[in-house]
Amino acid sequence: MKIAVLIKQVPGSESPLPLAHSEDWLDESQVAYIMNESDNYALEEALQLREENNKGEVVVISLGPDRAQKVIREALSKGADRAIHIQSDGNYPSDPLVAASLFSKALKDESFDLIFSGLQSDDLGHGQTGVILGELLGMSTASLAMATEIIDGKIKVKRELEAGYFQWVTMSLPASISVQSGCNTPRYPSLKGIMGAKKKEINVITAEVQDQNQSIKKIYAPKSSKETVKVEGSVDQIVEKLVNIFRNEIKIT
């Protein structure tokens, strides 16, 4: 079985996040980057499926600038067999359709049985790339996966629904699955794995990001303000004023 895993490099949760002068992204020189959380779980799910079936290949694919090779090497040290780096100038595309199209072009000749991706990225959080990629490649798709199992040449997926409910679905292969965080326990790289990762293949593909239908115009830190308003009058007047404040100023309906 041939399994692809999409991994993304994102700003760490404990990293400083200074804004660039252009106000359309971060000042990357001061940002500490790590592997996206849910992608870590997607990688572990792929490695476990390979081990359960005692055969197969796990290939990690990352889209981004040169710095993305840090998380690629991390994935290889955890047990992935090889990697594909879709090298782009600047930042990751902010349009999930553009990102999925770049992945599709790079992967269409690989004939993967499964493509795993994290449910959503910690920076942009669209949660659409894996689903769109499956559609572009003509695959079965499922999201919010909490468990997977290969049975008789098909994949059985446990999906997380609302209010604590779950749903089991069985789909034909090939399939693209978006994995939810917390579905397994990701492994740590071993010393042997770290040393072995240096010898594993990373195929670098140069990609030019297309015009995007959606893009980030400005990012900013929200400013908080504190104001105290004293409401006076009779009980009826106070109630009327409060209702007006809730409805028209705080926008509670």
Give 55-107 pLDDT, tens digit per residue.
899 999 999 889 999 999 999 999 999 999 999 876 677 889 989 999 999 99
Average pLDDT along the chain: 89
Contact 176, 134 (CB under 8 A): yes
Classify 234 as helix, strand or coil. Answer: coil
Give 229-238 pLDDT, tens digit per residue.
888 899 999 9
Q: Considering the entire predicted model, what is its pTM? A: 0.82
- Classify each residue of 207-232 as buried b or exposed e, where b means 16 or more C-beta atoms within 10 Å of its C-beta: bebeeeeeeeeeeeeeeeeeeeeeee
What's residue 178's pLDDT?
95
Catalogue the E-assigned strands of the chain: 2-7, 9-11, 33-35, 57-64, 82-87, 114-118, 140-151, 154-160, 166-172, 175-179, 202-206
Give 137-191 pLDDT, tens digit per residue.
999 999 999 999 999 989 999 999 988 899 999 999 999 999 999 999 999 999 9
Give 191-204 pLDDT, tens digit per residue.
999 999 999 999 99
What's residue 132's pLDDT?
95
What one-letter code names the amino acid at 152?
D
What one-letter code names the amino acid at 157?
V
The token duo for 64 is 């981004």
Q: Where along the chain do its domains lie?
A: 2-206
Backbone angles phi, psi at 70, to 5 degrees: -65, -50
CA atoms within 13 A on the CB side of 75: 37
Is 2-206 a CATH 3.40.50.620 domain?
yes
